[in-house]
Amino acid sequence: MGNTALIQVRVEPNLKDEVDTILAENGLDIPTAVRIFLAKVRRVGGIPFDVRTYNAETIAAMEEANRIAQDPTAKSYGSFYELLADLNDGEDE
């Protein structure tokens, strides 16, 4: 690797062990995963995933959306125009 910088991070042993197992199942080790993460931070110019905390109202809305998405009787549309056409059909009644 040529010139390298050492990064040391302290984490709980259980967290390290669990992550190590997950990464190993995917053919990675922790140092490689950290390098991938750092490269992605550089590429996107920030943390490459959402780190905000959701309030109760947002969590409830996300859970409702998941329930609707899993409902086999829920309608789905291939495009916005299909939805509009379906809505317009109901206006004539």
pLDDT at 74: 84
Mean pLDDT of 47-61: 92
Asked whether the predicted pLDDT for residue 54 surpasses 60, the reply is: yes
Is 93's pLDDT higher than 60? no
pLDDT at 91 over 80: no
Q: What is the chain written as a DSSP string?
A: --S---------HHHHHHHHHHHHHTT--HHHHHHHHHHHHHHHTS-SS--PPPPHHHHHHHHHHHHHHH-TTS---SSHHHHHHHHHHGGG-
The band of 92, judged by pLDDT with boundaries at 50, 70 and 90, is low
| pLDDT tens column, 12-41 | 999 999 999 999 999 999 999 999 999 999
What would the pLDDT profile of 58-70 be if each residue is shown by its tens digit?
A: 999 999 999 988 8
